[in-house]
Amino acid sequence: MENTLSTKKTKQVDTNKTPFTVKELKRQWILVAIAVVYVVYGIIFYYLPLVGWIMAFQNFVYADGITGSKWVGLYKFQFLFRDPTFLKVIRNTFAMGALNLVFSTVVAIAFAILLNEVKNKWFKKSIQTISYLPHFLSWIIVVAIVHDALTSTGIINELLMKFHIIDMPFPFLGKTEWFWPIVTFSHLWKETGWNAIIYLAAITSIDPSLYESASIDGAGRFQKMRYVTLPGLRPTIMILLLMNMGNVLNAGFELQYLLGNGLVQDVSRTIDIYILDWALDARNLDYSLGTAAGIFKTVVSMTFILVSNYIAKKRGDERLF
């Protein structure tokens, strides 16, 4: 056992590029045949709807269709980027997405590792089951509870006043600087247990003999966590991180929509909320504007993915493609 799993894999990823030969193609014909089926499926259900992107360059009216609607060139994009509000919502979306990415990844990993250290199976199972329950509550319910706790008469203000940390109730939900932390916390609260499931599954793939040999070498618990568990999780962490990079601009809609209010709207509104307000207004359905914003999101996401995938490749880490 010279190597841990991850180093072994890294090498393989980097060196094994099978040269394209007819012989090889014949040998793996079954793989290729199946791949073709998947490509056809993917084209139908994922790539065909992308034709709709044309709408972003039109003043799309449903009755006239894509062929009949008026062309407006880049007007919709100009409208977006000339609107200071749109720039603000990009900032908000990005900030909340990034905070959420960092914290939910770190906390979920920490939780998975700590849970893995529990020896008592019953306790372990119970904690894990409990931890993932809030995932099934809708945001409406979670936000109602968060709201309830943070109002002037809520439990948080009550406690702070009891311990004389503050004399007057603090308006957490009316303060712009508190909005992002509250959103991040709400996410953690609801999703940590759920996010940890994937890491717990990945931990099972770590070769138990690694722990044994580490023990023989006199490694303590922290060392084992640091030098066996964490490296064992590395491929999973990298893959999830890479994929979630592309989701930074999908920071969400419902949570911010429900939690926000007039006082904090400068920091609470995300791109999706903006689209809802401006493009999905029943009085003037502007699918073109919504599509333009969607294209912008996709372009940014793909850029993130390509760059981080490139970096991962350079570093010899797990990568997406």
Partner 1 sequence: MSDLSANRVSRMGDGVSRKKKMATEDLIFTIINTTFLVLFAIVTLYPVLNTLAISFNDGNDAVRGGIHLWPRIWTLRNYDEVIFQRDGIRIGAKITVLRTVIGTITSLAANALLSFILSRKKFLFKSGLSLFWVITMYASGGMIPTLILFRYLHLTSSFWVYVIPGMVSAFNVMVMRTYMAGIPDSLEEAAQLEGAGYMRIFWSIVTPLCKPVYATIALFVAVYHWNSWFDAMLYNRFDPQYTTLQYELRKLLDSVSASTGGQVAGTSLTSSAVNTITPVTVRAAATIATMAPIIALYPFLQRYFVTGLTIGGVKE
Partner 2 sequence: MKTKKLVALALASMLAVSSFTACAAGGKSGSGITDFTMFAAMAGKEKDEGNEIKEMIAQKTGVRVKESWLTGQNAGEAIGSIIASGKLPDFIDGGDGSITLYQNHLLVAWDPYLEKYPNLKEMYTEEEWDKFRMDDGKIYWANVFGNHYKDDTTTGHNGEAFWIQARVLEAYGYPKIETLDQYFEILEKFAKEHPELPNGTKVIPYTCLCEGWKYYCLENAPMFLDGYPNDGCVIVNVDDGVDKPKVVDYNTTDTAKAYFKKLNEEYAKGNIDPDFAIQTYDEYIAKLSTGAVLGLCDQYWDFAYNIMGPFATPIKATDGSSFRLDQLGCDYVPLGLTAKAGMQNQWHTYGDELNQASGCAVTTACKDPDKAFEFLSRLLDQDIHDLRFWGVKDVDYLVDENGVFYRNEQMRENWKSDSYKAKHTCEYSYMPQWMGMSKDGKNYMQPAEKPEEFRAGLAEPLKKAFEAYGKSTYAEMVGSPYIMGAEKYPWYPLWSWSNGISSDTPGGIAWKKMGEEKHKWLPAVVISTDFEKDWNAYMDAYKACKPEDFLKEAQDEVNKRLKTAQDHGWKAS
Burial 224-257 (b: 16+ CB within 10 A, else e): bbeebbebbbbbbbbbbbbebbbbbbbbbbebbb
From residue 283, give the alpha-carbon distance in Å to each of 87, 286, 291. Answer: 24, 9, 18
- Residue 132, C-beta contacts closer than 8 angstroms, at least 6 positions apart: 193, 194, 196, 197
Tell me which residues in 194-233 interact with partner 1 (CB under 8 A).
Answer: 197-198, 200-205, 207-209, 214, 217-223, 227, 231
What mask, x for binding partner 2 by CB under 8 A, covers residues 183 to 212?
------------------------------
- Residue 104, C-beta contacts closer than 8 angstroms, at least 6 positions apart: 187, 188, 191, 192, 195
Q: How many Å from the N-terminal Cα to the C-terminal Cα in the chain?
A: 29
- Residue matched to tokens 């702070």: 160
- Is residue 215 at the binding interface for partner 2, with CB under 8 A as the rule? no
Considering beta carbons, is residue 12 or 84 the nearer one to partner 1?
12
Bridge partners, residue 71, by sequence? 58
Distance between CA atoms of 245 and 302, rounded to whole angstroms? 9
Q: Describe the crossing of helices 121-132 and 176-203 by its angle, rounded to 10 degrees.
A: 140
Tell me which residues in 79-118 interact with partner 2 (CB under 8 A).
Answer: 85
What mask, x for binding partner 1 by CB under 8 A, covers residues 51 to 70?
xxx-x------x--------
Residue 4 touches which member of partner 1, partner 2, none, C-beta under 5-8 Å by kind: partner 1
Distance between CA atoms of 56 and 289, rounded to whole angstroms? 6
Considering beta carbons, is residue 176 or 205 the nearer one to partner 1?
205
In the complex, what is the shortest distance from the CB of residue 74 to partner 1, in angstroms, rounded to a whole number? 18
- Is residue 261 at the binding interface for partner 2, with CB under 8 A as the rule? yes
- Is residue 176 at the binding interface for partner 1, with CB under 8 A as the rule? no
- Is residue 126 at the binding interface for partner 1, with CB under 8 A as the rule? yes
Considering beta carbons, is residue 132 or 178 the nearer one to partner 2?
178
Element (H, E) at 231: helix 230-245
- Is residue 290 at the binding interface for partner 1, with CB under 8 A as the rule? yes
- Residue matched to tokens 């199972």: 125
- Residue 68, C-beta contacts closer than 8 angstroms, at least 6 positions apart: 61
- Residue 241, C-beta contacts closer than 8 angstroms, at least 6 positions apart: 101, 105, 308
In the complex, what is the shortest distance from the CB of residue 252 to partner 1, in angstroms, rounded to a whole number? 15
- # of chain residues touching partner 2 (CB under 8 A): 32
- Residue 197, C-beta contacts closer than 8 angstroms, at least 6 positions apart: 128, 132
Residue 205 touches which member of partner 1, partner 2, none, C-beta under 5-8 Å by kind: partner 1
- Is residue 124 at the binding interface for partner 1, with CB under 8 A as the rule? yes
Residue 316 touches which member of partner 1, partner 2, none, C-beta under 5-8 Å by kind: none
- # of chain residues touching partner 1 (CB under 8 A): 109
In the set 111, 139, 253, 278, which binds partner 2 (CB under 8 A)? 278
In the complex, what is the shortest distance from the CB of residue 75 to partner 1, in angstroms, rounded to a whole number? 18
Residue 174 touches which member of partner 2, partner 1, none, C-beta under 5-8 Å by kind: partner 2
Q: Which stretch binds partner 2 (CB under 8 A): 42-50, 197-205, 219-227, 261-269?
A: 261-269
Give me the residues that bind partner 2 (CB under 8 A), please: 61-63, 85, 144, 147-148, 151-153, 169, 171, 173-174, 258, 261-263, 265-266, 276-287
